[in-house]
Amino acid sequence: MSISVGDKLPNASVSYLDRNNRLRSVTISAIAKGKKLVVLGASVPFAPKCSQFIERAEETKFKNVDIVACVAMNDVFVMRAWGEHLRLSLGDKLMMLSDGHGELSRALGLSVDFSNSSDIGASLGLGNRSRRYCLVALNGVVRSVRADDSDEFTSENVVNSFDSV
């Protein structure tokens, strides 16, 4: 992980579909400007562990948070469908963002290549993906960041790390 507490968010581009199904591109630093932003990185949308991570994180309701951005290295259509499938109740606070080319994940140092690994990721044809992570930024400055280093990664231990931010 190359991003650390105190660092500014990169100007990495992400995309999403707006309410009228128009493709929009924006930088993560622009989203965070003047806001308290929580970024939830996911490796595989619709996969049980990633879905459970997002659902459990959503249950916390993110007190005092302006925007919750769920990001994965998938296209905007997958991200929209995954958000609809999860039936998340964060309303206007939630953005389902596509990091399709992995620009954000690489800039944060949170990408992983499963294509040459001997684990199940290679068998599933996953290739380059984002790690699961939770990042909190205030006005574009990272206040907290935790990445998945094991199967013990849960939203509770991540959320507890930024409750006081």
Q: Among all residues, which ones are annotated catalytic?
A: 50
Per the CB < 8 A criterion, the answer to whether 122 and 115 are in contact is yes
How far is it, in rounded angstroms, from Cα 7 to Cα 10?
A: 9
Beta bridge partners of 17: 23
Which residue in 88, 46, 48 sits closest to 69, CA to CA?
A: 88
DSSP state of 10: P
**159 vs 118, 120, 139, 140, 163, CA distance in Å?**
31, 28, 19, 19, 6
Q: Show Cβ contacts of residue 153 under 8 Å, excluding neighbours closer than 6 positions.
A: 53, 132, 146, 147
Per the CB < 8 A criterion, the answer to whether 132 and 147 are in contact is yes
